[in-house]
């Protein structure tokens, strides 16, 4: 396969200072984030500087030039805060401290500064729905027992039943089992229950309590003062619960998630919180942003999070959940753009993250949701993944990449049970459960595990990497024009050279054969066409323009000749191409 048909003149290889200025100025007036490509780093699995098998901040720092050269605009870091790691850091014990496993606050400071010098912005994860059960507030609430004011900051309630032996309501944890755990009173007798929508080690805050809101405003300022460019807000749809915490009355709660408004998700009250936060973000120079991880029933409800006085972006999980199917893709693209237009926010696009099966594996299997346990047809999956990524990067708005997708990494579907750490794996009835498969450390170089993830060949990595990953390392793929890494580098370089690729809010659909998508993007700087063949057969179309980039070789082309009809192109099965017109 060749994707680099045209010389995209790798402008990212220019002197760092030139790039810095270019990035700093790009889109400054409209908002740098509107068409930004944002790369998610999962700190545990990116780069391990000290050889303990766990990724860390100095490791990330040492790899920033790689991200600059890849051509992304910003980096979102999953949590690196002090945490017992019951949910891989999404259980925060101290929001203002770095876990020693990842480094120190000084490392965080150095990382932010280095990133800025390279022209990369930094977005950190904020987890406001719940803390860790090791958080000082929760520990004190337990120790002090009933009546402690600290209890008001969480949801402590007496149980139902004669002796309070039943949970206060019928809500279930997203990770499986009841959403309530009973406490023990300081005198050893059974006590109240507390709410946790996720693991028992993640007690939900009570956002009705002003101390909680105050604390998070202060945490925002702490990191803004450190220089971060924004926050990815974890479970942004969860903080406000319906008054009285009413029963749901359903025993198939997980099936309802995503189709109905639940008494604990997407309650209208959350928007007041974001209005307050927006005012804080706007106090700081340099366009600091908030990005909502909001799972809502429809993209239209997602748009509520990005009204002009709320957050800047929200993940488009409807897009992430769409299979490789031309009709469904066209529909979700239209719905996404139509939903965001009235609120003036850019659409976002995402194919992979740390919670779902990597798209190279999803697309290797028949359609079946975002938690897939079989490797499927690897070659098919990779072909479609490459095509899907080029499609995503041709859409107007902002795109999120997840570390390793630029290497075409598959999910690791055969991790032995003993090495798994995902808490939902151990609470069988829950959703997710197999998220460790997308969290395996990145292969950078060399022939022996951990493939440059850690400093020593043969050294540890917190999850084992498959032997086949030696062939997928950054080192192996760099400079190989057929590699997925070079496809991403070329795509991001073209996108940077032709801002029309990410700008605007419109696509113009052109007629095209069944199983394909062809759209045109117009801007003052020029136009281009994106062709997608999502079918399993090659498809012949009229040549739309001059080829810029393709995820696979076109099967054949003919140039228009004197007196002949228009030129034609045969699009390879499962391929996307960009054309200058």
Active site residue 525: no
| Cβ-based nearer residue to ligand GLC, 292 or 337 | 292
Strands (E), 242-333: 289-292, 313-314
For the beta carbon of residue 479, count every other beta carbon within 10 angstroms.
Answer: 9
Report helix, strand or coil for 190.
strand
| Cβ-based nearer residue to Ca ion, 52 or 114 | 52
Question: Taking CB under 6 A as the criterion, which residues in 13-52 touch ligand GLC?
Answer: none
**Which among 165, 184, 214, 283 is annotated as catalytic?**
283
Compute the least distance from the CB of residue 423 to ligand GLC, in Å.
Answer: 8
Q: Is position 235 an interface residue for ligand GLC (rule: CB under 6 A)?
A: yes
Residue tagged 């391990």 (tokens): 48
| Cβ-based nearer residue to ligand GLC, 355 or 406 | 355
Q: Is position 234 an interface residue for ligand GLC (rule: CB under 6 A)?
A: yes
Q: Tell me the sheet residues that pair with 156.
A: 194
69 binds, among Ca ion, ligand GLC, none (CB under 5 to 8 A by kind): none
**Which among 234, 411, 436, 574 is annotated as catalytic?**
234
Give the CB-nearest residue to ligand GLC: 90
| Cβ-based nearer residue to ligand GLC, 351 or 532 | 351
| 3-state SS record for 94-154 | EEEEECCCCCCHHHHHHHHHHHHHCCCEEEEEECCCECCCCCHHHHHHHHHCCCCHHHHHE
With b for 16 or more beta-carbon neighbours within 10 A and e for fewer, the 148-179 pattern comes to bebbebbbbbebeeeebeebbbbbbbbbbbbb
Where do contacts with Ca ion occur on this chain (CB under 5 A)? 48, 50, 52, 54, 56
Helix pair 210-226, 270-283: axis angle to 10 deg: 30
234 binds, among ligand GLC, Ca ion, none (CB under 5 to 8 A by kind): ligand GLC
Of 296, 331, 302, give the one whose Cα is nearest residue 314: 302
Q: Is position 229 an interface residue for ligand GLC (rule: CB under 6 A)?
A: no
- In this structure, what token pair is assigned to residue 243? 């008054």
Q: Is position 124 an interface residue for ligand GLC (rule: CB under 6 A)?
A: no
Cβ neighbours of residue 253 closer than 8 Å, sequence gap 6 or more: 171, 172, 262
Residue tagged 């303990």 (tokens): 52
| Cβ-based nearer residue to ligand GLC, 133 or 355 | 355
Residues that bind ligand GLC (rule: CB under 6 A) add up to a total of 9
The contact pattern for ligand GLC, residues 283-312, with x = CB under 6 A and - = no contact, is: ----------x-------------------
| Cβ-based nearer residue to ligand GLC, 23 or 236 | 236
Active site residue 475: no
Compute the least distance from the CB of residue 318 to Ca ion, in Å.
Answer: 36
138 binds, among Ca ion, ligand GLC, none (CB under 5 to 8 A by kind): none
- What is the strand order of the sheet 568-571 is part of? 539-542, 568-571, 556-558
277 binds, among Ca ion, ligand GLC, none (CB under 5 to 8 A by kind): none
| Residues 434/356, Cβ–Cβ less than 8 Å | no
Q: Is position 90 an interface residue for ligand GLC (rule: CB under 6 A)?
A: yes
Question: Taking CB under 6 A as the criterion, which residues in 464-493 touch ligand GLC?
Answer: none
Positive or negative, the CA dihedral 310, 315, 319, 322 is negative
d(CA 554, CA 534): 14
| Residues 545/531, Cβ–Cβ less than 8 Å | no
| Cβ-based nearer residue to ligand GLC, 88 or 494 | 88
For the beta carbon of residue 299, count every other beta carbon within 10 angstroms.
Answer: 20
Of 412, 352, 363, 403, give the one whose Cα is nearest residue 387: 363
Compute the least distance from the CB of residue 150 to ligand GLC, in Å.
Answer: 21
d(CA 100, CA 83): 9
Compute the least distance from the CB of residue 59 to Ca ion, in Å.
Answer: 6
Compute the least distance from the CB of residue 89 to ligand GLC, in Å.
Answer: 9
Compute the least distance from the CB of residue 235 to ligand GLC, in Å.
Answer: 5
For the beta carbon of residue 19, count every other beta carbon within 10 angstroms.
Answer: 20
Q: Is position 355 an interface residue for ligand GLC (rule: CB under 6 A)?
A: yes
**Radius of gyration over alpha carbons of the chain, in Å?**
24
Indicate which single residue of 102, 198, 264, 265 sits in contact with ligand GLC (rule: CB under 6 A).
198
Compute the least distance from the CB of residue 234 to ligand GLC, in Å.
Answer: 5
Compute the least distance from the CB of residue 49 to Ca ion, in Å.
Answer: 6
| Cβ-based nearer residue to ligand GLC, 122 or 174 | 174
| Site of interaction with ligand GLC (CB under 6 A) | 87, 90, 127, 198, 234-235, 293, 354-355
Q: Which residues are catalytic?
A: 234, 283
């Amino acid at each position: 396969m060749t994707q680099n048909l045209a010389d995209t003149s790798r402008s990212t290889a220019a002197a760092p200072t030139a790039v810095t200025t270019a990035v700093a100025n790009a889109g400054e007036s409209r908002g740098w984030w509107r068409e930004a490509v944002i790369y998610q780093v999962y700190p545990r699995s990116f780069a391990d500087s000290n050889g303990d098998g766990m990724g860390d901040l100095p490791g990330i720092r040492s790899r920033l030039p790689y991200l600059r050269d890849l051509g992304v605009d910003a980096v979102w870091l999953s949590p690196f805060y002090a945490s017992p790691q019951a949910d891989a850091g999404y259980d925060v014990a101290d929001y203002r401290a770095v876990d020693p496993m990842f480094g120190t606050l000084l490392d965080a400071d150095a990382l932010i500064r280095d990133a800025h010098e390279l022209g990369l912005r930094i977005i950190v994860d904020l987890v406001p729905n719940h803390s860790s059960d090791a958080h000082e507030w929760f520990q004190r609430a337990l120790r002090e027992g009933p009546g402690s004011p600290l209890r008001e900051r969480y949801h402590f309630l007496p149980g139902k039943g004669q002796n309070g032996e039943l949970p206060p309501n019928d809500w279930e944890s997203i990770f499986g089992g009841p959403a309530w755990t009973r406490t023990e009173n300081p005198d050893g007798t059974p006590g109240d229950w507390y709410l946790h929508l996720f693991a028992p080690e993640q007690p939900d805050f009570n956002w009705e309590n002003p101390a909680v809101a105050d604390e998070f405003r202060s945490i925002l300022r702490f990191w803004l003062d450190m220089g971060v460019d924004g926050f990815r807000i974890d479970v942004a749809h969860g903080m406000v619960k319906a008054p009285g915490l009413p029963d749901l009355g359903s025993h198939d709660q997980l099936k309802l998630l995503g189709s109905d408004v639940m008494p604990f998700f997407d309650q209208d009250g959350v928007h007041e919180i974001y209005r307050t936060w927006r005012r804080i973000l706007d106090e700081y120079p340099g366009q600091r942003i908030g990005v909502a991880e909001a799972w809502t029933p429809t993209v239209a409800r997602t748009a509520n999070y990005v009204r002009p006085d709320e957050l800047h972006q929200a993940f488009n999980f409807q897009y992430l959940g769409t299979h490789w199917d031309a009709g469904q893709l066209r529909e979700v693209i239209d719905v996404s753009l139509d939903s965001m237009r009235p609120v003036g926010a850019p659409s976002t696009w995402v194919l992979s993250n740390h919670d779902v099966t990597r798209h190279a594996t999803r697309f290797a299997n028949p359609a079946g949701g975002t938690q897939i346990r079989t490797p499927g047809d690897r070659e098919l999956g990779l072909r479609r993944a490459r095509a899907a990524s080029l499609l995503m990067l041709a859409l107007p708005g902002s795109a999120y990449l997840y570390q390793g997708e630029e290497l075409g990494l598959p999910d690791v579907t055969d991790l032995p049970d003993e090495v798994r750490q995902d808490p939902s794996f151990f609470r069988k009835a829950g959703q997710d459960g197999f998220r460790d498969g997308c969290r395996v450390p990145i292969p950078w170089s060399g022939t022996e595990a951990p493939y440059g993830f850690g400093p020593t060949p043969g050294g540890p990595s917190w999850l084992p990497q498959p032997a086949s990953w030696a062939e997928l390392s950054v080192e192996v793929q760099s400079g190989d024009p057929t590699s997925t890494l070079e496809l991403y580098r070329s795509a991001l370089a073209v996108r940077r050279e032709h801002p029309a690729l990410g700008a605007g809010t419109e696509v113009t659909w052109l007629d095209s054969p069944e199983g394909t998508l062809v759209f045109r993007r117009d801007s003052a700087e020029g136009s281009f066409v994106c062709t997608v063949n999502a079918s399993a057969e090659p498809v012949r179309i009229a040549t739309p323009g001059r080829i810029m980039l393709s995820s696979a070789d076109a099967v054949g082309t003919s140039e228009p000749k004197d007196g002949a009809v228009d030129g034609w192109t045969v699009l390879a099965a499962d391929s996307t191409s960009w054309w200058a017109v």
